[in-house]
């Protein structure tokens, strides 16, 4: 049996200067991502060394666990932007949206138009990893009725859909666009997630990509996607992400 060696490439060959990471947790102390401002800068600096210089960071907005208001998020963004300037990171663009859990509190925010978008009308949303909301399609309908476009974060990570692949097509028909977690192409989240990610990629169901960076370990693992085959597979998604900069 012949084992073909991976054709490894540096991440700077994958991420161009106009690539935008649309999913990360880099604001200090408001969710399970960066713990403080120093941690925020360390993560951004490491990502910059990979070629990622444009960020739309997306803190969790999740019920009573991470009840982050839009004002809280905006204030934290200013804090990071100021520190980036102090430390001379003049080539970094940094702003924020949010990753909204599709729960009752989200529905209230939607009613009040208290939503931070990735750009234009795109909203990053997620579900519980245990099950989909009972009223999922009603909520997705309401999102679009309000004029927004739901970007479903890491659909490959919802294990309850792994043996129900038709649900992915149903979600697309319901107006969702899909964002792939780059680490899902590795075994970071388990082989089931990796297998589903590759199948969704093959079926051309993804629209965007994101790093979903929370900590340094994620960034160490991200180096595993430095592979010519992976670059080719996700090239169109990397191109799609650039639109968030224009």
CATH label of the domain that carries residue 193: 3.20.20.140
Q: 3-state DSSP call for residue 31?
A: coil
Q: Is residue 67 part of a domain?
A: yes
Q: Is the pLDDT of residue 6 over 80?
A: no
Q: Is the pLDDT of residue 106 over 80?
A: yes
Average pLDDT, whole number, for the chain? 96
Q: Is residue 70 part of a domain?
A: yes
For 55-100, the pLDDT digits (tens) are 999 999 999 999 999 999 999 999 999 999 999 999 999 999 999 9
Q: Is residue 43 part of a domain?
A: yes
Taking CA atoms, 211 is separated from 91, 166, 179, in Å, by: 19, 26, 10
Q: Is the pLDDT of residue 229 over 90?
A: yes
Q: Is the pLDDT of residue 152 over 90?
A: yes
Q: Is residue 173 part of a domain?
A: yes
Q: Is residue 196 part of a domain?
A: yes
Instruction: Specify the number of domains making up the chain.
Output: 1
Q: Is residue 1 part of a domain?
A: no
Q: Is residue 120 part of a domain?
A: yes
Residue in 238, 150, 137, 233 with CA at minimum distance from that of residue 194: 233
Q: 3-state DSSP call for residue 174?
A: coil
Confidence of residue 235 (pLDDT cuts 50, 70, 90): very high
Backbone phi, psi, residue 151, to 5°: -105, 110
Q: 3-state DSSP call for residue 144?
A: helix
For 184-218, the pLDDT digits (tens) are 999 999 999 999 999 999 999 999 999 999 999 99
Confidence of residue 7 (pLDDT cuts 50, 70, 90): confident
Give one DSSP letter per residue of 71-113, joined into a string.
HHHHHHHHHHHHHHHHTT-TT-EEEE--EEESSHHHHHHHHTT
Confidence of residue 3 (pLDDT cuts 50, 70, 90): very low
Q: Is the pLDDT of residue 5 over 70?
A: no
Q: Is the pLDDT of residue 4 over 60?
A: no
Q: Report the share of the chain in percent with pLDDT over 70.
A: 98
For 118-150, the pLDDT digits (tens) are 999 999 999 999 999 999 999 999 999 999 999
The domain in which residue 128 lies consists of 11-242
Q: Is residue 152 part of a domain?
A: yes
């Amino acid at each position: 049996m012949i084992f073909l060696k991976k054709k490894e490439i540096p991440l700077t060959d994958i991420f161009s200067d106009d690539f935008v990471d649309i999913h990360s947790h880099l604001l200090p102390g408001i969710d399970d991502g960066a713990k403080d401002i120093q941690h925020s800068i360390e993560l951004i600096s490491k990502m910059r060394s990979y070629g990622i210089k444009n960020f739309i960071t997306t803190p969790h907005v999740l019920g009573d666990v991470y009840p982050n208001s839009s004002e809280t998020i905006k204030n934290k963004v200013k804090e990071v932007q100021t520190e980036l300037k102090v430390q001379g990171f003049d080539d970094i663009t940094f702003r924020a949206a949010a990753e909204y859990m599709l729960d009752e509190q989200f529905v209230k925010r939607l009613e009040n138009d208290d939503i931070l978008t990735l750009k234009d009308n795109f909203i990053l949303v997620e579900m519980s990893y245990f099950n989909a909301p009972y009223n999922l399609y009603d909520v997705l309908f309401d999102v679009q009725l309000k004029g927004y476009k739901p970007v479903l974060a890491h659909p490959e990570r919802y294990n309850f859909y792994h043996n129900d692949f038709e649900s992915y097509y149903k979600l697309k028909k319901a107006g969702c666009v899909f964002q792939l977690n780059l680490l899902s192409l590795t075994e970071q989240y388990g082989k089931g997630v990796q297998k589903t990610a590759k199948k969704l990629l093959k079926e051309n169901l993804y629209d965007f990509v994101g790093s979903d960076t929370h900590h340094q370990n994620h960034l160490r693992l991200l180096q595993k996607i430095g592979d010519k085959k992976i670059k080719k597979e996700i090239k169109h998604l990397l191109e799609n992400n650039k639109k968030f900069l224009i």
